[in-house]
Amino acid sequence: MPTIHTKNRVLVTGGAGFLGSHLCARLLQDGHEVICLDNFYSSSRNNVLALLQHPNFELIEQDVTSPLTMKVDEIYNLACPASPIHYQRDPVQTVKTNVLGALNVLDLARRHNAKVLQASTSEVYGDPAMHPQPESYNGNVSPIGVRSCYDEGKRCAETLFFDHHRQYGVKIKVARIFNTYGPHMHPDDGRVVSNFFMQALAGHDITLYGDGQQTRSFCYVSDLIEGLVRLMDSPLWITGPVNLGNPEELRIRELANDILARTQSDSRLIFEPLPQDDPKQRRPDITLAKRLLQWEPRVSLHDGLEQTHRYFAGLTQDA
């Protein structure tokens, strides 16, 4: 796709988080003015320390559930804890972040005729009965489970986006993000890549849930950010939802063995019961992203895990 040279004033909610911090850096590199908004509930100032000296970067500590008043051309709504440990800690607030946050960014976009992108999730598919998951699949989601605050919150946010588009003409984009990994992941977020690296590097037992035969598809963070930027820069008629993720499927036990070998750890594999509503399979159908955005992942799992290994090894050395 052609490079976009227009300089925009861009708001990134959740901008100090794992994905948000990488997105802020990319947008600055592309020549935009960036406003990073974050309440630091599950993120870290360290993720954006290197950006604070940039003349086009502004950091605002604020919750996305509070009214937004800045003037912007584009909005990326990434604000929401994305790991079960964080979003289940305060499930009511998680729902508020998803729903009130969506309403606030949509209201801001409507007032300033700005484009707004919702960072939705593969969790809208729940424990899928269709594999791989295309955007046309409506999902298999429990509205009353322990993960529902996140899953149903994200589904409601998508509803709000499309209703604002139909009712008010708001220029929306919706990305459904599948498992993403890389530097700036929270070391204690409970997600499988960070869990395995931190346990292996500390010499602790590596915890697998169920029999370890469930599958996930892992996309390196730079590939995911490229997909988000391409979706935002795409023609207005491309609203999404568009799946962004890596279609290469991997069993969780295979990932654990890879990380054990990579870290040269003597950790043992131990098995715990599968958490409630945890999906057995997760793999995106990215046909739409390939066709509309000319996007697909480029970074191999081998290379991406190597970069991630260096990041977590650095954290353990500094501790």
Active site residues: 150
Burial class (CB in 10 A: 0-12, 13-18, 19+), 199: buried
| E strands present in the chain | 9-13, 33-38, 57-61, 74-77, 115-121, 171-177, 180-181, 206-209, 215-217, 219-220, 242-244, 249-251, 269-272
Positive or negative: CA dihedral 180, 181, 186, 192: positive
DSSP, collapsed to helix, strand or coil, labels residue 31 as coil
Alpha-carbon distance 210 to 217, whole Å? 18
Alpha-carbon distance 34 to 56, whole Å? 6
Q: Considering all CA atoms of the chain, what is the largest pairwise distance in Å, rounded to the nearest integer?
A: 58
- φ, ψ of residue 233 to 5 degrees: the values are -85, 0
Place of tokens 């955007």: 135
Strand partners, 220: 181
163: left (phi over 0), alpha (psi -120 to 50) or beta: alpha
Contact 189, 83 (CB under 8 A): yes
